[in-house]
Amino acid sequence: MSQAPFYVSPEQLMKDRADFARKGIARGRSVVVLRYDQGILLLAENPSPTLHKIAEIYDRIGFAAVGKYNEFETLRQAGVRYADLRGYSYHRTDVTARGLTNAYAQTLAGVFTTESKPFEVELVVAELGLTPETDQLYRLSYDGSVIDESEHVAIGGQADAITASLKGLATSALSLGAVVDHGVRALAAATSGPLPTSDLEAAILDRTAVGHRTFKRLDDAAMAALRED
């Protein structure tokens, strides 16, 4: 006598995949991306000096991620290839955060709906505008959903707590030093403990930079100086 095949409804399957992805992301340490008066700050709780959560994609585009390192590193590399190819085939100004976000959203949605295991990642794609009004921040979830943010965005296991602590704060009107202070305090409050500079990874997209590239990593000395201001 043959056994009836095991059946799982599509709704239950999607719910199980979402729960799986959320649990994986929740185990990771958080990242917060904040605009400031001369650019965009990308700030992560990350004691590793080599396994970066924050990276440069192209001239004015930064990338931040939480979750499984091998999965978001694969996405980062794909983003760099996308940007390089588009910039070479057309023009550097044709490489935009919106276009990159759409490409990431399609990849994440495809994996979520067709593969046995979704990506356990959340991403932020940030683009530095020529003027503050044209800055762009996009948050992408494991299922390919996209939210655009105006002032700041947090991802990771403590994202809700970080967002709540920054609620109502217009960081785009503040200096880099002030925004670093707000960002570090928000990360620390979410983890219920102080964060030494050595446990932070930070970079900026700097509107005052000369040349194409605006991405600059902030080492411990630079972060320590900003935290003292």
The answer to whether 22 and 173 are in contact (CB under 8 A) is no
Q: What is the topology classification, in CATH, of domain 10-228?
A: Glutamine Phosphoribosylpyrophosphate, subunit 1, domain 1 (3.60.20)
Predicted confidence at residue 157, as pLDDT, reads: 87
Predicted confidence at residue 170, as pLDDT, reads: 95
Q: Give the separation between CA 178 and CA 60, rounded to whole angstroms.
A: 22
Every domain of the chain and the residues it spans: 10-228
Give the containing element (helix H, strand E) for 88.
Answer: helix 69-89
Predicted confidence at residue 213, as pLDDT, reads: 92
The answer to whether 214 and 207 are in contact (CB under 8 A) is yes
Predicted confidence at residue 133, as pLDDT, reads: 93
Predicted confidence at residue 4, as pLDDT, reads: 55
As given in the structure block, the two tokens for residue 18 are: 């979402």
What is the bridge-based pairing of β-strands 215-218 and 54-58? unpaired
Which burial class, exposed, middle or buried, applies to 205 when counting CB atoms under 10 A from its CB (0-12, 13-18, 19+)?
A: buried
Predicted confidence at residue 2, as pLDDT, reads: 55
The pLDDT averaged over each successive group of 10 residues in the chain (229 residues) is: 67 91 91 97 94 96 97 97 95 95 97 94 97 96 96 94 94 96 92 85 96 93 85
Predicted confidence at residue 142, as pLDDT, reads: 97
The answer to whether 54 and 42 are in contact (CB under 8 A) is yes
Predicted confidence at residue 84, as pLDDT, reads: 96
- CA nearest to 141, candidates 172, 171, 181, 111: 111
